[in-house]
Structure 1
Amino acid sequence: MTTSKISATEPDWDRERCNRWWEPGRQLLKSLREYQRWQKQGGVFGRFFSIWNVLQHRFWSVVASADIPINSRIQGGLLLLHPNGIVIHPESTIGPNCLILQQVTIVGGVTIGGHVDIGAGAKIIRPVTIGDHAKIGANAVVLSDIPAGATAVGIPAKITQVERSQ
């Protein structure tokens, strides 16, 4: 089986594209992206469509049971396969092409690199930096920095392996 390495720098916007109407995670991200786009546009249309996207964001937040603020700093290509219970602080930064599963909590001051996979129930509860291509295991509690390519599991999270780039 051949797998292509997902970029940690260039967003893959196809990962966020809605294929059907009832995709709460993708619709939530779409409302967030559209709001931010109209805010930059400004003017009368910008204000009108910003308000419209706030309403959409609130709807999809309730449907998805997710707390992802509309002014979050999230780069493109984020996957929220099961968005229920996800809490992201607006002062955290998430790099491109990340995967966040259900019941994940990310506090303020966290910097997540590109192509980071965060398992179900993981908690990142201190301002830490997580490197590119890192993996955070299910139910891990991250209290310290995780280097690029590392896999961290446990409570508190400990690094189990570091992938060497070739």
Structure 2
Amino acid sequence: MSETVGDDANVSAAVADWGREEVQGVWDPGRKLLRAVRRYQRLRGKRGPWARLMRKYWVLNHWFWSLVTQSEIHLNTEIGGGLRLTHPTGIIIHPDARIGPNCMIFQQVTLAGPVVLGGHVDVGAGAKLIAPLTVGDHAVIGANAVVTRDVPPGATVAGIPAKVISGPGPAERTPG
């Protein structure tokens, strides 16, 4: 499995690749954090003492892996299948954010507010996406970019503030 931004162009933007979320080995904090979110969400509508006990277990599990990774991913965040948290340190995802299938998020990324990521969006290290905004399918957000506007599908954006540097959409370049 590739772990470089934009390298896996054949990944679907619509069909989740659940294999990307399978825990690999004993120490896999990003996937274990994501597993805690998924298991809690699966039990959210269930009733009874067993479901209540298991929800509490997954809340504690989520809390532990959040401390290990120093990341904040709310238990009720809408996350499509196949999310990769490649280096899961310092990731902050607002509870109202929506993440499409097969996205990849690197370390120190912030999704502030109701940000919507389409399918197979790669978000580089340190990027900040400040809502409200939508990122189209197969887009790439460069490292340390500050995104404050919508990103068209297939575009690559970078800079502060982020501008389209390749792909579809009008490229905003500064003279010089």
Structures share a fold, TM > 0.5? yes
Corresponding residue for residue 102 of structure 2: 97
Pairs within 5 Å for 1:84-163: 84-162=89-167
What is the total number of aligned residue pairs between the two structures?
A: 162
Identity of aligned residues (%): 52
Q: CA deviation at 1:163?
A: 5.4
Cα displacement string for residues 34-69 of structure 1 (whole angstroms, at most 9, x for unaligned residues): 011111333222111000000000000000110111
Separation in structure 2 between the aligned mates of residue 107 and residue 77 of structure 1, nearest angstrom: 21
How big is the shift at 1:149?
0.2
Aligned with residue 14 of structure 2, among 9, 26, 38: 9
Cα-Cα RMSD: 1.3
Displacement of 1:4 after TM fit?
A: 6.3
Equivalent residues in 2 for 1:18-57, closer than 5 Å: 18-57=23-62
- How far, CA to CA, are the matches of 2:92 and 2:130 in structure 1? 11
State the match for 2:173 in structure 1.
none
The runs of 5 or more residues in structure 2 that have no matched partner are 1-7, 170-176
2:19 maps to amino acid:
D
Runs of 4+ in structure 1 displaced over 3 angstroms?
none
CA distance in 2, matches of 1:157, 1:64: 27
Alignment partners' CA distance in 1, 2:168 and 2:148: 21
Instruction: Give the Cα separation in 1 of the matches to 2:32 and 2:158.
Output: 30
SS in 2 for 1:40: coil
- 1:78 is aligned to 83
**TM-score with structure 1 setting the length:** 0.94
In structure 1, list runs of 5 or more residues that go unmatched: none
2:47 and 2:140 mapped to 1: Cα distance?
38
- Counterpart code for 2:149: S
Q: Please list the CA deviations of residues 13-39 of structure 1 after superposition, one character each: whole Å capped at 9, or x if unmatched.
A: 100000112100000000110011111
Q: Distance in 2 between matches of 1:95 and 1:112?
A: 6
Amino acid at match of 2:10: K
